[in-house]
Amino acid sequence: MKKALITGITGMDGSHLADFLLEKGYKVYGIERRTSTKNRTNIKHLEGKVTFLMGDLSDQNSLLRCLKEADPDEVYNLAAQSFVGESWNTPEQSADITGAGALRMLEAIRVYEKKVKFYQASTSEMFGKMEHLANENTKFHPRSPYGVAKLYAHWITINYRESYDMFNVCGLLFNHEGERRGKEFVSRKITDGVARIHLGLSDSISLGNLDSKRDWGYAPDYVEAMWLMLQQDKPNDYVIATGKDHTIGEFLSSAFNVIGIDDWKKYVKQDSRFMRPAEVYYLRGDSTKAKKELGWTPTTTFDEMITKMVKNDIKLLSGS
Ligand code: NAP
Ligand code: G4F
């Protein structure tokens, strides 16, 4: 039985990856950090199936202890301060967890000395200021403290692969969403807001910049790509994306459509509090390499994903 250790298991991707690996017959360990109130919304269903270990990406020894306890074949480093907007409020903490956190996990694996395959959650935010389709060779120009921190984590993962012959891969994942997404991200903020309007709990949604375009995929499709990367003979880095871009207006239109509203504009307010000091206006990825080498393609469409998210939020809010 293969063993996997996941950092960030309480998050959206971590919980989906745990579901996926359990289905594959893995023994799964997940690192949780101490918080004043436990938030197990995404992992409640995993209790009794996954072994939870206490640790923190800011604490090197805790990572080594978790590694020894789990003795994994594969480590998936998904933990991060992952909200781009927040990274201007806490740039140092974002650098420490999102950037140096990856280094701490790599060092723990290096000191542990056993052969462990390592996955780093890299991101399309590293491309930042881009205008065309991005692939593995596109130059980076991050536009947020989060993006800069992720770029450090990306290069240190590659550097440890080249320095110590470690099996390290980076997945350059474009935006992916789903029912377990945090409510501060624009996708879930919209689907939750639409559900509230539908149930008469609210009459509008306040958003920032509506002009950006994103290449939005569905999270459960994307965790499969993470696993596939670690099953290859040689470590390599891959862009994971749908190849299609949509504006936030198109996201809104699709979400309001689920509740039968065509004229969504009268329900949306613009609020400068949600604008960013530097914006990433356009992200679209070319995952040809992943398709060719991993056999990976996304299966859930943009509209299917949004429908699932809106229906799930209506269900959660109505308690049905
Ligand atoms: P998420 O839902 O925000 O989950 C982040 C996870 O990191 C949570 O489990 C969180 O734990 C944990 N964490 C934060 N600080 C920590 C610390 N100091 N020590 C240990 N754990 C800590 O993020 P996600 O959307 O699942 O994304 C997973 C990873 O992929 C992240 O690294 C993200 O940056 C990256 N990524 C995401 C996307 C996307 O579109 N979703 C795209 C590309 C890359 P708490 O619950 O305790 O806060
Ligand atoms: O949903 P967002 O906060 O996601 P963003 O910034 O693209 O980051 C996400 O995807 C990255 C991959 O590219 C990940 F690495 C990262 O961890 C995270 O998962 O914002 C999307 C767009 C932005 O242009 C933002 O300015 O939506 C715009 N937006 C407009 N109004 C808003 C809002 N974003 C948020 N969060 N809230 C708003 O009210």
pLDDT tens profile 145-202? 999 999 999 999 999 999 999 999 999 999 999 999 999 999 999 999 999 999 999 9
**Residue 39 Cα: closest atom of ligand 1:** 46
Ligand nearest the Cα atom of residue 77: 1
Please report, in angstroms and rounded to a whole number, the separation of the first and last CA atoms in the chain.
Answer: 38
Beta bridge partners of 122: 172
Closest by alpha carbon to 138, among 216, 291, 241?
241
* 125 classed as catalytic: yes
How far apart CA 188 and CA 193 sit, in angstroms, is: 8
Residues of the chain with pLDDT > 90, as a percent, come to 97
Write a three-state SS string for the chain: CCEEEEECCCCHHHHHHHHHHHHCCCEEEEEECCCCCCCCCCCHHHECCEEEEECCCCCHHHHHHHHHHHCCCEEEECCCCCCCHHHHCCHHHHHHHHHHHHHHHHHHHHHHCCCCEEEEEEEHHHCCCCCCCECCCCCCCCCCHHHHHHHHHHHHHHHHHHHHCCCEEEEEECCEECCCCCCCCHHHHHHHHHHHHHCCCCCCEEECCCCCEECCEEHHHHHHHHHHHHCCCCCCCEEECCCCCEEHHHHHHHHHHHCCCCCHHHHEEECHHHCCCCCCCECCECCHHHHHHHCCCCCCCHHHHHHHHHHHHHHHHHCC
- Token pair for residue 30? 């997940």
Q: Which residues of 265-284 are buried (b: 16+ CB within 10 A; e: fewer)?
A: eebbeeeeeeeeeebbebbb
Average pLDDT of the residues of the chain: 97
How far apart CA 24 and CA 17 sit, in angstroms, is: 11
Cα→Cα distances 213→12, 123, 246, 270, Å: 22, 16, 5, 17
Ligand 1: distance of its center to the CA of 44 in Å?
Answer: 17
pLDDT of residue 317: 98
- Token pair for residue 258? 């689920």
**287 phi, psi to nearest 5 deg:** -100, 35
Q: With 90 as the cut, is the pLDDT of residue 15 above it?
A: yes
Q: Which residue CA neighbors atom 10 of ligand 2 most closely? A: 175
- Token pair for residue 193? 């807001």
Confidence of residue 93 (pLDDT cuts 50, 70, 90): very high
- Token pair for residue 250? 């198109």
pLDDT of residue 131: 86
Residue of 13, 59, 123, 140 to mutate, ligand 1, most atoms within 8 A of C-beta: 13
**296 phi, psi to nearest 5 deg:** -95, 135
Confidence of residue 85 (pLDDT cuts 50, 70, 90): very high
* 123 classed as catalytic: yes
Closest by alpha carbon to 168, among 208, 95, 127, 109?
109
Ligand 2: distance of its center to the CA of 304 in Å?
Answer: 20
Q: Is 189 in the pocket of ligand 2 (CB under 6 A)?
A: yes
Beta strands 205-207 and 213-214, pairing class? unpaired
Residue of 16, 82, 84, 272 to mutate, ligand 2, most atoms within 8 A of C-beta: 84
- Token pair for residue 93? 């903490």
Q: With 90 as the cut, is the pLDDT of residue 320 above it?
A: no
Q: What is the dihedral of CA 222, 171, 235, 97, to 10 degrees?
A: -120
Ligand 1: distance of its center to the CA of 262 in Å?
Answer: 34
Q: Which residue CA neighbors atom 4 of ligand 2 most closely? A: 185
Chain segment 127-153, per-residue pLDDT in tens: 999 988 999 999 999 999 999 999 999
Ligand nearest the Cα atom of residue 217: 1
Beta bridge partners of 27: 3
